[in-house]
Amino acid sequence: MPPRSRKVRKALRATPEELKAALDHELGRESGVQFFKSTEISNVLREEIWAILEDISGLLRTSSFGWNVQEKEEEVFHPDGRLMVLFLDSHEPENRGRVAGFCSFRFEQDEDDIIYCYELHVERSGRGNGVGGLLIAHLETTARIWGMSKIFLTCLNSNPRAFAFYTRHGQVNHHA
């Protein structure tokens, strides 16, 4: 791993509260999301995130990546990882506070300082309601705030709906 730049080291030192405050300040309003260190979340939140991941695991099982529970847990809950979570603000008490969608990411250095988005998923009942667009917009703003030059992510060829989503939101397709 190459040595980390000053910007990446600074971003990695930022607390979840500092990430949220910077985003809210940049937006000039409450963003509606919460940030967490991937290793410092409650068991309840971890289970909700995992349930959303298992919901899409069929796409991974048939891809070249495959579905390996241990590898996926290590990736999503990595010590340098951050989670951006949007919770439901529901009038139904049983749904209030449940995860509407989340993004798992890390500040990293490749050729440039980047945010690598490992996962961005919306709970099944919330798809098509702007949750994913809000998460990607907030991730782009977070990248800009912390001086990251771009966002890297991987989209499965077997998921044309996600590919269309990322294209609509300005993510560029690069083939290796």
pLDDT tens figures, 98-137: 899 999 999 999 889 999 999 888 888 878 888 888 999 9
Residues 6+ apart with CB under 8 A from 119: 53, 75, 76, 102, 103, 104
Tell me if 174 is assigned to some domain. Answer: no
Tell me if 1 is assigned to some domain. Answer: no
Domain count, the chain: 1
- Element spanning 48, H or E: helix 43-61
Parallel, antiparallel, or unpaired for β 150-153 and 113-122?
parallel
Q: Which two tokens stand for residue 176?
A: 């290796």
Mean pLDDT for 147-173 is: 75
Tell me if 65 is assigned to some domain. Answer: yes
| pLDDT-wise least confident of 48-52, 142-146, 155-159 | 155-159
Q: 50-87 pLDDT, tens per residue?
A: 998 888 776 666 666 666 778 888 889 999 999 999 98
Q: 7-38 pLDDT, tens per residue?
A: 999 999 999 999 999 999 999 999 989 999 99
pLDDT band at residue 139 using 50, 70 and 90 as cut-offs: very high
Residue 18 is predicted with a pLDDT of 98
Tell me if 48 is assigned to some domain. Answer: yes
Find tokens 């405050």 and name the residue: 21
pLDDT for 175 beyond 50: no
Find tokens 């506070």 and name the residue: 97
Count of residues in the chain: 176
Residue 66 is predicted with a pLDDT of 66
Tell me if 173 is assigned to some domain. Answer: no
CATH code, 93: 3.40.630.30
Domain span holding position 26: 6-168
Find tokens 């490992």 and name the residue: 118
Tell me if 54 is assigned to some domain. Answer: yes
Tell me if 175 is assigned to some domain. Answer: no
pLDDT for 176 beyond 50: no
Tell me if 67 is assigned to some domain. Answer: yes
Query: Largest Cα–Cα distance of the chain, in whole Å?
Result: 48
